[in-house]
């Protein structure tokens, strides 16, 4: 892994949608160079392939006047990937039905052989001890995703690369079987998909998450997951069987009921109404289901109470929220998104975000980083508590069962019923 010193601020990489900066050379003889404006790419959250913080060379595109204003045409509508083909070099491209040269970035799946798939967490403000992520990156393209900066460790951009270059752990099932069968292993509820959505679009074809669930069911191992995808309904047979033994809990993230806003925030996730339908189907199948209201973004998604009401009526019985966090490259990426979609709100939104995090875009302080600090954080906390009490959320939530774990079953798939 290249461990070059991080640059002070991530900037735009050459060959992308461009940046909004105006570059004026100190030499008066040089003409003013106008940076090419960033525009939204339909079906994608990020508008650019922002350079990651370990880049040693930073470049920007600019209009030198010869393009006639056509240097960066607006991307046409993109189709969702529906066909996967595995190449000889181990990559898998998801076809989008677009033709060159106006095609938005395609989704590329990069296979990885993982040495370990269970990650231990020691953060005191996270309700999980162990996590498992079948994928790195996420095609849902949520612009606010706190996991985007992790793509920098792979040498990829936290911008478009995070949602178009998906790393898939093809041996995740075999490695999980080995880890659960290791001498002395003690079962702790696993958080499935803590830094990715385990049911993102590529899962429909690759079925890595399905394989993980079958191992967890065979070993009677408890787990929880958070998703925005209706694809979780595909695995209701496993989830319902495990729910009968209190081995699973599912949260569906619904950031807003506004479909237009959701398409901008989470372009390839299921619509809010579709997610409510998923909550209903999970509840009807006997799977304990809750609603995640994360993240809460000042002056953007302000319908917390309405989401909680709709989710309750659909069958959710637990709920939580987290405020917007902008670590590392996520800060300039989110600012870029605001500038593209809500240019009149940039100052207000970012001013309130800094208020939440002690005068910074983000402060990694345990305790405060999830809920924020200051008057707006207090108001948000009060709103959530009042709505939760009124509706009856988070009452009598039983812990997941650990006593049924059978490590010897890791290599033998049992009947689901």
- Tokens 């989704």, residue? 107
pLDDT digits (tens, 9 = 90+) for 138-172: 999 999 999 999 999 899 999 999 999 999 999 99
Quick one: tokens of 115?
């040495």
Predicted pLDDT at 1: 40
Kindly state whether residue 21 falls inside one of the protein's structural domains. Answer: no
Q: What is the mean pLDDT of residues 343-358?
A: 96
Q: What is the mean pLDDT of residues 271-286?
A: 99
Q: Is residue 125 very low, low, confident or very high in pLDDT (cuts 50, 70, 90)?
A: low
Closest of 310, 317, 255, 311 to residue 286, by C-alpha: 317
Kindly state whether residue 13 falls inside one of the protein's structural domains. Answer: no
Q: How far apart are CA 297 and CA 349, in angstroms?
A: 8
Q: Is residue 325 very low, low, confident or very high in pLDDT (cuts 50, 70, 90)?
A: very high
Predicted pLDDT at 56: 61
Kindly state whether residue 15 falls inside one of the protein's structural domains. Answer: no
Supply the CATH number for residue 317's domain: 3.80.30.30
Kindly state whether residue 57 falls inside one of the protein's structural domains. Answer: no
Quick one: tokens of 152?
């920098």
Quick one: tokens of 258?
């506004």
β-strand pairing of 83-86 with 33-35: unpaired
Give the chain's domain count.
1
pLDDT above 80 (res 63): no
Predicted pLDDT at 18: 35
pLDDT above 90 (res 62): no
Kindly state whether residue 271 falls inside one of the protein's structural domains. Answer: yes
Kindly state whether residue 60 falls inside one of the protein's structural domains. Answer: no
Higher pLDDT, 243 or 64: 243
Kindly state whether residue 67 falls inside one of the protein's structural domains. Answer: no
For the full predicted model, state whether its pTM sits above 0.85.
no
Domain ranges, residue 404: 83-408
pLDDT digits (tens, 9 = 90+) for 161-211: 999 999 999 999 999 999 999 999 999 999 999 999 999 999 999 999 999
Dihedral sign, CA of 152, 157, 162, 165? Answer: negative
Q: How far apart are CA 135 and CA 356, in angstroms?
A: 31
Contacting residues for 194 by C-beta, under 8 A, at least 6 apart? 121, 128, 131, 132, 133, 226
């Amino acid at each position: 892994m290249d461990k070059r010193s991080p640059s002070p601020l991530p900037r735009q990489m050459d060959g992308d949608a461009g940046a909004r900066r105006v570059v004026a050379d100190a030499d008066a003889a040089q003409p003013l160079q106008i940076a090419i404006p960033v525009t939204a790419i339909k079906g994608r959250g990020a508008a650019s392939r922002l350079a990651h913080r370990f880049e040693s060379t930073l470049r920007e595109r600019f209009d030198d006047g010869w393009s006639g204003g056509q240097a960066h045409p607006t991307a046409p509508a993109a189709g969702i990937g529906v066909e996967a083909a595995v190449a000889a070099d181990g990559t898998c491209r998801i076809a989008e039905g677009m033709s060159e040269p106006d095609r938005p970035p395609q989704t590329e799946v990069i296979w990885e052989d993982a040495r370990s798939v269970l990650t231990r967490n020691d953060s005191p403000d996270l309700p999980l001890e162990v996590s498992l992520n079948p994928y790195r990156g996420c095609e849902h393209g949520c612009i606010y995703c706190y996991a985007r900066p992790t793509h920098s460790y792979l040498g990829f951009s936290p911008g478009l690369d995070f949602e178009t270059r998906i790393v898939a752990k093809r041996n995740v099932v075999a490695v999980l079987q080995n880890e659960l069968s290791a001498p002395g292993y003690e079962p702790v509820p696993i958080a499935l998909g803590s830094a990715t959505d385990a049911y993102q679009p590529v899962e429909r074809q690759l079925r890595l998450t399905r394989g993980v669930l079958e191992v967890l069911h065979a070993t009677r191992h408890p787990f929880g997951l958070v998703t925005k995808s209706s694809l979780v309904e595909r695995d209701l047979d496993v989830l319902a069987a495990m729910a009968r033994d209190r081995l699973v809990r599912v949260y569906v993230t619904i950031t807003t009921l506004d479909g237009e806003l959701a398409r901008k925030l989470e372009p390839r996730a299921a619509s809010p109404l579709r997610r409510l339908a998923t909550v209903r189907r999970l509840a009807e199948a006997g799977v304990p289901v809750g609603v995640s209201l994360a993240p809460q973004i000042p002056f953007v998604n302000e319908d917390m109470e309405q989401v909680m009401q709709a989710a309750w009526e659909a069958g959710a019985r637990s709920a939580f929220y987290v405020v917007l966090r902008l670590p590392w490259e996520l800060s300039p990426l989110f600012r870029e998104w605001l500038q593209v979609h809500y240019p009149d709100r940039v100052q207000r939104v970012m001013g309130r975000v800094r208020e939440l995090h002690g005068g910074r875009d983000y402060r990694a302080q345990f305790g405060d980083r999830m809920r924020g600090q200051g008057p707006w954080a207090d108001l948000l906390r009060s709103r959530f508590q009042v709505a939760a009490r009124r509706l009856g959320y988070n009452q009598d939530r039983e812990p997941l069962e650990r006593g049924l774990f059978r490590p010897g079953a890791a290599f033998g798939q049992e009947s689901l019923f």
